[in-house]
Amino acid sequence: MNETLVSDDQMLELLESVWSSMLYVPISAVPPKGDFTEHARLTASVHIAGDWNGTVLLHLTEPFAEFAAATMLASDTEGLTDADRDDAAAELCNIIGGSIKSLLPGRNSLSLPAIVKGEESLLRVPNTHVLATMDVQSAGQPLRIRILARTDRKPAESEFRQVASAGAAPAGNSRSH
């Protein structure tokens, strides 16, 4: 990962604090075996703008979004709606994004979170490159966190195809994974 802005240790620590306080399950830096791309159906994002510009992405599976929503809402999974699952994923990304933002230089603001989902969706973030990727697992599910930074390089675009290529290298010019 990138040492100067957000270290792996900081990333894991901030994830652990979110997980321990809101989801009550461990999160481990050991990614699960197998292909992440088979599972990811949901991506939550928040943008950071100001002195530093970029995007934080949280890729997660539907079972994990369901688990997160059920835990956060203290509800059983049957009672959940799609909106609940999306909102839980969005709020997790928002909290992660806020912690990451606090580590970035200068004065920045956080956008409202957004959700991309579905089998054939495509998420394209123009003028960015992948600054950092962290694969983790929790509750038996794979999760991936990405930090995209605004870039001047060309071609300048980070593209993530859910399911089909969420786990593969982004179409854009990335320098670290």
Partner 1 sequence: MTTLAATPALDSLSFEYVRKLVLERSAIALETGKGYLVESRLMPIARAHGHGTLSAFIESLRRQPHGILHTQVVEAMTTNETSFFRDIHPFDALRTIVLPELVSARSAAKKLNLWSAACSTGQEPYSIAILLAEHFPALSDWTVNIYATDLSQQVLDRAQAGQFTQLEANRGLPAALLVKYFDKVGLHWHIKPAIKRRVRFLQANLIEPWPMLPAMDVIFMRNVLIYFTPETKRQILSKVRGQLAAGGTLFLGGAETTLGIDDAWRRVNHGKTSTYRLGPAANS
Partner 2 sequence: MSRILLADDSGTMRTIIRRSLEALGVTDIVEAADGNQATQLFAAGGFDAVITDWNMPGKTGIEVVRTIRQTDKTTPIVMITTEAEKTRVLEAIQAGVNDYLVKPFTTDNLREKLGRFTPVA
Q: Does 103 bind partner 1 (CB under 8 A)?
A: yes
Does 118 interact with partner 1 (rule: CB under 8 A)? no
Nearest 5°: the CA angle 48, 65, 13 is: 55
Q: Is position 77 an interface residue for partner 1 (rule: CB under 8 A)?
A: no
Please tell me whether residue 13 binds partner 1 under the rule CB under 8 A. Answer: yes
* Per-residue tokens: 101: 């933002």
CB of 17 to partner 1, least distance (A): 6
**Amino acid (1-letter code) at residue 96:** I
Tokens standing for 161?
């195809």
Q: β-strand 128-138 against 141-150: which pairing, if any?
A: antiparallel
Q: Which stretch, 48-56, 57-65, 98-106, 146-154, contacts partner 1 (CB under 8 A)?
A: 98-106
Q: Which is nearer to partner 2, 28 or 102 (CB)?
A: 102
**Radius of gyration from C-alpha coordinates of the chain:** 15
What is the DSSP secondary structure assignment for residue 124, as one 8-state letter?
E
The binding site for partner 1 (CB under 8 A) comprises 10, 13-14, 17, 20-21, 32-33, 99, 102-103, 137, 140
